[in-house]
Every structure is written in C-alpha cells, then in structure tokens.
Chain A
Amino acid sequence: MKKFRVFLTLLLVFGLIFGMFVGCGEQKQEQGQGQEQGQGQEQSEMVLRYNLGTEPETLDPAKATGVPEMTVMLHTFDGLTRLDKDGKPQPAVAESWEVKNDGKLYIFHLRKDVKWSDGQPVTAHDFEFAWKRALSPEIASEYAYQLYYIKNGEKYNTGEITDPNEVGVKAIDDYTLQVELEQPAPYFLSLVAFPTLYPLPEHVLKANPDWPKGIDKDPNLYVTNGPFVLAEWSHHDKLVLKKNPNYFDKDKVKLDKLVFYMVEDANTAVQMFENEEVDMIDNIPTAQIDQWKDKPEFHIDPILGTYYILVNVGSDKTMGGEKNPLQDVRVRKAIAMAINRSVITDKILKAGQQPAYAFVPPGIPDAEPGKDFRQVGGNYFSEDLQKAKELLAEAGYPDGKGFPKLIYLYNTSEGHKKIGEAIQSMLKENLGIEMELQNQEWKVYLQSRNEGQFDLARAGWLGDYVDPMTFLDMFVSTSGNNDTGWANPQYDDLIEKAKYETDNAKRVQYMHEAEDILMQDMPIIPLYFYTNPRLVKTYVKNYAAISLGWVDFKEAYIQK
C-alpha cells in the first residue's frame, strides 16, 4: 500500500505540473473567446476573417519577402502611392509628384494630414530613414534590390560606399521627398507602393532599435500609418487588425476588424469555410474545385504569373551522361509544340488558367493606353504535332529514336506531380521521348536548379510589379534567376537598352523584341498563365484583388 501511495503522490505531482500548463492556457482562452466570434456577435462590429495561409515571417517592411507578410503590411501601412484594384498606383501619402530629368528625378509632395498611429505626423524624413535603413548592410534585407533603382542604392548596400548620405533619397523639407534614380524606371510610381519602400516611424525606431521585435507582446509598439493597426498577433494562430482612428482616409474604411488566420492545411481551410469559421480563403485544393466551380463563392482573381519548363541548355550532357539533345533549338521547339496544354488547364487545374504560348502574361499594359502587352505581342507558336515531329526528325531523332532519357525535376507536391505525369505521357505518345520524373524537397530542388542538376525542371514566376521587365530581365546572362545556362548577347543588349530608355513606346518595343528572341530560342517552354482562385462568402464586398497576388481590404465591407 505504501508503494501505491507513493505512486498516487507522483501522479498528483504530475497532474499539478500539467495543471499549471492548463492554467496558463485558461488565461489565454479568456482573451481568445471574445475575438473569435464571427459576424454579428460583437454588436454590429464589422469583422472580416481571411486565411493568410501561413505565419508571417516578420512584419518589418525592410525584411519581408513573401505574400503573407506583404498582405498584412498592405493593411497597416501606406506608401507614397497605393495600388488600386487594377494594379495602378494612386496617390496615398504623396498627394502629387513631379518627374524631371527624363525620368531620373522624382519630387514627391506629401500630404500634411497623414499621421502615425501614435498621433505623430508622417514626414518625408520617415521615408528617407526607412529607405536608407532597408539598404543598410546590417539589416541584410533580401529585397534591398528593389531600391537599387535609386542612385548609389546598390553601392551602399554592397558596402562600396559607406556614407548613407550619398544615396539618392533626400527629405528637402518635412513634406517634400526628392529621389534621384540610376536609370529611368517608368514603373517607379508602382515600386513606391511596394512594402520595402514604406515609411517607418523614425522616432519609434530610434527609441527601439530592435523594432519590430516585441510587437507580438505589445502591439502598440507597432506604430504604422495605414488603414488598420495591429491589435493582436498570436503566432501560427491568428493576427487581428483593427481600424486606425488616425488614418487620413478613414472615411473609406468600413471594416472595424480584420482577422487573419494562418491555417496551412488547405483542406482544413475549406472545412472552416464550409463551417462559417472564415470568410475568404485562397489556395483551394484541386480535388475540391469541381464541387465549388459553379457556386457564387468561387472567384477567379487575376495574378501575374507564368508556369513554365526550364530547359538545361548549358550542359553538354544530360543527367544520364548522354549528349544533351536540348541544346538543339529544334528539339526544344518540338517539345513545346507537342504538349497539349488544355489537358493541364482544363482537366488538372480547372481554375480558368490560360494556356501560354509566350512568356509575359496578360494583364500588363502596353505602350498605348488600353492595350495589353500580351495582346500586342501575340502568340509565338502553336501546338502543332505534325510540325513537332518534323523538327524532331530534322534534329536527328525521328520518332524519338536514339533520344536519351530526360529527367524532369519538380518540387514535391501533388499538383506538380500530376502536371509532370501529363507531360511525360504526352511526350512519350506524341514524340516517342522518354522522360523520368524526379521530385525533390523544395530547398534541395532550388539548389539542384541553381547548379544545373536537371534536364527539364518545372518552374513558375510571379511578377513583382506590373511591367514586362519583371518577367524579361530574369533571363539576361548575368541574372541569378537564369538557371537555363542560356546566354544571348542580343537579348542582354535589348534589356539593357529598355532599362535606360526614357521614351516609353521605344522601351516597350525593345521588350517585345527581347521576348521575340526569348521565344525564338526557347530556353524555357511556357505552359500556362496563373490565376488566383478564391472562395469568398457572398456577403464580402468590394475587396481589391491585386494582380501581384495580394488582396486589399481597405474599402471592403460586409453586407448580409
């Protein structure tokens, strides 16, 4: 019996220790209860619940790199401009601007009524401070290159110059910001809407050099100037924003609260949507699309992106050690023409994706207003099985005879696997080409691509800003993004010319010519243009789906 008592005591002690943890949990529950309630529970407070899909890595505008981070900051900050639902920059903190010196000098005139959430005025000094901070080597910002357009931006970031005052951004006075550029960038007004170029409250950062560390414990420390402010951040759980009473444009903001969930499991997100626990989700699992396709909740929002196959043009040998047939442009063209893209878009993806016969997606304006770059550029090739077979034969592999086996690399995912399998069977059936699928974990896959350890690899590219340049400058021979090993001096030259050209019509023409070359040589085989399917409750109105992948709820509201 004594032993039994000892055992009981141990159990009790154990229970007490865990009870402590339970106790800690209880307190949190009290706080959690009130905020969880969805619509209608909080006495006519308008709340929108959106699934961000993952935990934001950071809420520091200088360090953020992904869509989840930028989505949150889009709602807590305002830059010099703000993108509207068509992706066009509209005045925000800057009420007007002047463009001089053939597009190399910008003078922004700031509004005088923009305040930080702690009541302090937002001045041009806050912009100068933030941009120099983002460029400083100590911060080690991954998106610092967005500021390389600014004079001496790159040099300061790489340490070539050490005096930040030599960087071409200067607050002439409290409400005038002068920016000198290295080269004219016609999309600069869109760039200043990008989070890396948001202003930061200099007075707060000087007092808290580790900012934004600690904002999860004290949300008031996250002093911002946008339509919403941070109310709560519970890691891997949810983030709550509430309306900013000091926002200059607050009459346009109708929502009282925004709740961002971080549910990573796509199936759970759909279940939550069905159970009225969330109002909007992205990332619908393809297996579920069929049952939602015809419902009013199913929205297909635009996104600038292209899904394509990377071809290893630089290697003389395939992964299997044989002579690399992909170095012959006829082989690449044959493969491009022998893939039936509608099988992929209509049978596998089913969310309105468009087959792609060029690289730059639709949704980017051309030189003439009202025209679209892709429309003007047109299609560069079509699916033509006959022609494909002829090209393959010309290259020395009639009906695929003697063609070495190719490795198709993709990062582990059901979706990419299905697409790979479709391509594998099409190439075998149509051209007699054998392709082996190889999947790797994401980072290993990135490394393999970088090191040329593949024959064909799946890839996707989403635009950083609304201009063809974000797609085209990827394939200059010196770009770190160019994993193909393809180098064409004419292409490099055209891109360089386009970057320095001040006449927009000429600039767009150069870019069309560059795309001509890219599609003639075909070091990449475009497959389809992305769409962004979402499930949205019918009572959610007026959200802006920005084609860079973000969603803007500034002017959204709930109408039940």
Chain B
Amino acid sequence: MGRFIVRRLALMVIALWVVVTVTFFLAHMIPGGPFDREKPVPEAIKKNLEEKYHLNEPMWKQYLLYLNDIIHGDLGPSFKYPDRTVNDIIKESFPVSAQLGFWAVLMATFVGISLGSVSALHQGELIDSFSMFFAILFISLPSFVIAPIFQYIFGVKLHWLPVANWGSWKHMILPALSLALGPTAVIARLTRASMLEVLSNDYVKAARARGLSGLRVLIVYALKNALIPVVTYLFPLIAAIFTGSFVVEKIFNIPGLGRYYVTSIYNRDYTVILGVTVFYAAFLILMNLLADITYALLDPRIRYE
C-alpha cells in the first residue's frame, strides 16, 4: 500500500504541472486583459502597468517566471486586488468554504445515509415513496432556485435567520442547507440502492436466521458493506461541494474561495485563476487518492500493489 501511495503522489505532481501549463495558456488566450475598462487607460499608463506585471514579455518567458514562483510557493499578486497576494486570498477564503462545505457534507452524509437506510428497510411502503420523491425533487432543483426560496421563507417572512453574509452560526444554516440538499438526495438514493443489494445477500439472511436483532444486522453486517459505494462517492463529493459552492457563496455573500474561482476569469486575473485552479486540482487529486485508500481498507477484495 505504501508504494502505491508514493506512486500516486508522484503522479499528482505531474498532473499538477499539466494543469498549470494548460490553464496558463488557456487563460492568456481569451481576449481581453486584466486592465481593460470601459474608460480605457491611456497608452502610457497601460505600458506602466504591463511592465509592472511583466505582461509585455513573451508568453514563454511569463510562463517560466510564473513556474519558478509557484515552485517556491509564491502564487503572485492579484491583478484585480493589487494589495493582496493570491496566497493570502486562498489562506483567508478557503477555511470559509471548508467550514461551509464541512457542514454541508456532514448534513448530506448523516441525513442521506439514514434516509436511504430507512427507505431500503421499508421498501415499497409510504415512507420509501415519500423519501424518494423528495430525493428526485432536490436533485433536480438547482441551488440558485432553492437558496432564494429559503432566504424568503426563513428570512423575510419568518425572520428566523439572516438572509445573507457570514459571521455567526445563524449565517451558516441556510447556505449549508442549500448546498447539502442535492447531495443528500444523491446519497439517500445511493445508500438505498446499495443497501437493498446487500440486504438480499445470503450472509445477511443467514444472520437474521440465526436470530440477530434487526439493528445489529443493519449496522454490523449490512451498513458497512452498503456504504462502500457511498464512501467512494463521498470524497469526490467533498471536492465538488468545495469547488461548486460559487453559486451559494454569491447568493448568500459568503467570503469563500468558490467565488474567486469564477470571478477571476471574468476579471482576467491571471494569477488568481492559476492559483485557485492549481489549488483545487491538488485538492481534487488528494480526495480521489483518499477515496481509493478508503475503498481498499473497506473492501477486502481490493488489493493494490
């Protein structure tokens, strides 16, 4: 297993290098630059800006300069926010996204697994149909539809929770909920399907036949194996929630990293585009690695060399 991990980490470095290179050249290929404004900047001033940020040098040179910086851990200054560095931006906003993501994942996992298990155990009954109906509903409704509805109901109408912004536990509830609903539904359906498959297996029937209680059978025998597909979905889900939180962050005005991911492209903020993309790529690759390791640990049939 150890060698397996080392090899995967080495591959990760190569993958990240490819990501940096492709992103760099793609970002520079889009028309428009960071300093294009409706009131165009006079030529001389534009020259000053370009010199300052090395934008007037040949593309390959800019690329190598950037690569050199990134190896030393310096992701550069932001073009749009000249008094902040990309390192600072990530350091300050990623924990916010992580917090939001953590609660969303937690909610999705617990509620999803419970709901899915209950549905599987009572297959065909009312509770099963109900749960699965809501599951389909929440998978289909996008977060930018759900979020304003929540804001309206729980904020404007009931005054229970603040409509937007960040800073107290109250501010976390609606955004985490909006973010969690879709994944909850997916996990519920996944758990249910997987659980049904496991419950029909001989060893479960045998355990029941030997007189073990329903709950014990569920947790010790069925759940562990039913969760294997769920766990492997979980890690990419974590990555997806973190990177896809842009819409929820924008609607609730949460100072997370997701927004920078999208707005940096609009702003042609090259350093932020690259820094955030590389960061997320590394995160995604790590999550996939963790998924594979967990999968191997859970399922004795899997062996990596």
Contacts and interface: CB of A to CB of B under 8 A. Distances in A.
A422 B65 CA distance: 49
B99 A25 contact: yes
B167 A275 contact: no
Given A140-B45, A142-B41, A237-B253, A24 B168 contact: no
Contacts of A55: 81
B164 A236 contact: no
B10 interface: no
A450 B32 CA distance: 11
A271 B155 contact: yes
Given A213-B83, A275-B159, A275-B163, A145 B42 contact: yes
A7 B99 contact: no
A266 B167 CA distance: 20
Given A3-B300, A25-B99, A444-B31, A237 B165 contact: yes
B169 interface: yes
Given A29-B167, A63-B82, A141-B45, A10 B251 contact: no
Interface stretch (A257-265, A428-436, A504-512): A257-265
B303 interface: no
Contacts, number: 167
Contact of B81 (A57, A443, A448, A480): A57
B159 A25 contact: no
Contact of B253 (A21, A157, A262): A262
Interface string B147-162: 0100110011001001
Contact of B156 (A25, A154, A274, A448): A274
Contacts of A58: 81-83
Nearest to B83: A213
A6 interface: yes
Given A32-B168, A271-B152, A265 B253 contact: yes
Interface residues of A, number: 67
Contact of B224 (A4, A36, A159, A448): A4
Contacts of B43: 480
A144 B43 CA distance: 12
Contact of A36 (B37, B98, B168): B168
Given A3-B298, A21-B98, A447 B167 contact: no
Nearest to B268: A443
A295 interface: no
Interface stretch (B89-97, B119-127, B189-197, B207-215): B89-97
Contacts of B49: 140, 142
Given A236-B255, A268-B253, A442-B266, A275 B42 contact: no
A271 B298 CA distance: 47
A300 interface: no
Contacts of A137: 48
A3 B93 contact: no
Nearest to B99: A25
Nearest to A148: B42
A446 B159 contact: no
B60 to A, nearest CB: 23
Interface string B16-60: 000000000000001111011111111111001101100000000
A235 B255 contact: yes
B37 A10 contact: no
A446 B36 contact: yes
Contacts of A274: 156
Given A10-B297, A22-B102, A57 B80 contact: yes
Contacts of A145: 42, 45
Contacts of B39: 464, 481
Contacts of B250: 264-265
Contacts of B63: none
Contact of A158 (B41, B44, B92, B151): B44
Given A4-B224, A443-B266, A237 B151 contact: no
Contacts of B80: 57
Contacts of B294: 7, 10
Nearest to A136: B48
Interface string A6-31: 11001000000010011011001100
Contact of B96 (A25, A57, A446): A25
A21 B95 CA distance: 6
A268 B151 contact: yes
Give the residue among B156, B164, B224, B255 with the most A Cβ atoms within 10 A: B164
A481 B42 CA distance: 9
Contacts of B95: 21, 24-25
Interface in A46-98: 55, 57-60, 63, 65
A238 interface: yes
A236 B253 contact: yes
Contacts of A294: none
A267 B148 contact: yes
Contacts of B224: 4
Interface string A260-284: 0111110110011011010000000
B261 interface: no
A3 B253 contact: no
A264 B37 contact: no
A460 B37 CA distance: 12
A236 B88 CA distance: 13
Contacts of B166: 32, 237
B252 interface: yes
A446 B51 CA distance: 22
A142 B50 CA distance: 12
17 contacts: A3-B298, A7-B294, A10-B294, A58-B83, A65-B37, A142-B45, A144-B42, A154-B44, A215-B83, A237-B165, A271-B148, A275-B162, A441-B32, A443-B33, A447-B32, A450-B40, A481-B39
Q: Which 3 A-B pairs have the closest CB atoms?
A: A32-B167, A443-B32, A158-B44
Given A29-B167, A142-B37, A275-B159, 17 more contacts: A22-B102, A24-B95, A138-B52, A154-B44, A215-B83, A238-B165, A261-B253, A265-B251, A267-B148, A267-B251, A272-B163, A275-B162, A446-B32, A448-B31, A460-B38, A480-B42, A480-B43
